[in-house]
Amino acid sequence: MSRVPLLPDRPRPLVFAHRGCSSLAPENTFAAFQKARETGAPGIELDVHASADGRLVVAHDDTFLRTAPADNNGNGKKLEELTSGEIGRIDVGSFFDPAFSNERPPFLEEVLEEFCPALYVDIELKSRKTKNDPLPELLAEKLVSMGGKIAASVSVSSFNPVCLSSFKKAWRRGPEPVPAAVIFCVDKELPWLLRRGFGRFIAGCDYLKPEYTQVTAFSRFRWAGIGKRPVVPWTVDDRAAAEAFLRPGPAGIPGCEGIVTNRPQDMTGLAKAGSRIPG
């Protein structure tokens, strides 16, 4: 199967600021993405849900219960039950620090307009559905509408291989291929078969995003060496660990293509050490 190269024109290693610079600002907010840019991070990672009226809202959880005050969290409703107008009034900054109390959940097109193509963006599809899911189609439509603004600047990922497969099918009409990754970790919330990355066979993905604890020389040999899929572990917050993941192993075992990190401010210089790879 032909695979889409992972952002081939971007310097290696790839460095994605997890939910923006979420160690210094509230996750998945403009403040976090701006802070990532200020630290010199070459890329950001974010999460998207579909609102009740079909907008793509940047947020991690199914609800705002964790990231918004009790009197301003959408009454605990799921994001898919809230309209974009309701979402736009929710405070998602004060949970981190009162200084960020004016932060509102951004919409995907706003983030892409502001940060692409200077930064590359990994868009994580947040969905538990296996059928009748509007999210993949909505994302494909949004990316097509943005045209050259996001060319060679976007990748898509998900824990849900069915959702990811649906996106790839919806994207066939897109102007250029978009690399896609299955995300996985050893977590009882995930079905057993998905905890070791076997969702890659359902999604037909182009690269892999395992939790960093699952990345070893042997797994890199299986996934990147034999499987020929680039590996980008999450969430790597220690610089020495990042450097170890990025180094090639013995007997030609590939190093990771990049990392996802909460602390891009500690990874300055990693991206500059890499080189561009051919498409």
The tens digit of pLDDT for each residue in 17-37 reads 999 999 999 999 999 999 999
The DSSP output letter for 211 is B
Return the pLDDT at 175: 81
Return the pLDDT at 1: 55
Tell me the per-residue pLDDT of 167-213, one tens digit each, with 9 for 90 and over. 999 998 778 899 999 999 999 989 998 999 999 999 999 999 999 99
Cβ-contact 274, 247 below 8 angstroms: no
Return the pLDDT at 275: 40
Outline where DSSP puts E strands in 107-241.
120-125, 154-158, 180-184, 207-210
Return the pLDDT at 278: 33
- Ordered by where they begin, the domains of the chain are 14-273 (3.20.20.190)
Closest residue by Cα to residue 10 from 270, 237, 216: 270
Mean pLDDT over each residue of the chain, to the nearest integer: 94
Res 277 pLDDT > 50 = no
Tell if the pTM clears 0.85, that is, is over it.
yes
Cβ-contact 29, 117 below 8 angstroms: no
Return the pLDDT at 271: 53
**CA 137 – CA 48 distance, rounded (Å):** 13
Provide the annotated active-site residues.
18, 60
Query: How far is CA 234 from each of CA 143, 208, 209, 238, rounded to the nearest angstrom?
Result: 24, 10, 7, 11
**CA 229 – CA 163 distance, rounded (Å):** 19
Contacts for 93-98 with beta carbons within 8 Å, 24 or more apart? 93/26, 93/29, 93/31, 94/69, 95/26, 95/66, 95/67, 95/68, 95/69, 96/25, 96/26, 96/27, 97/26
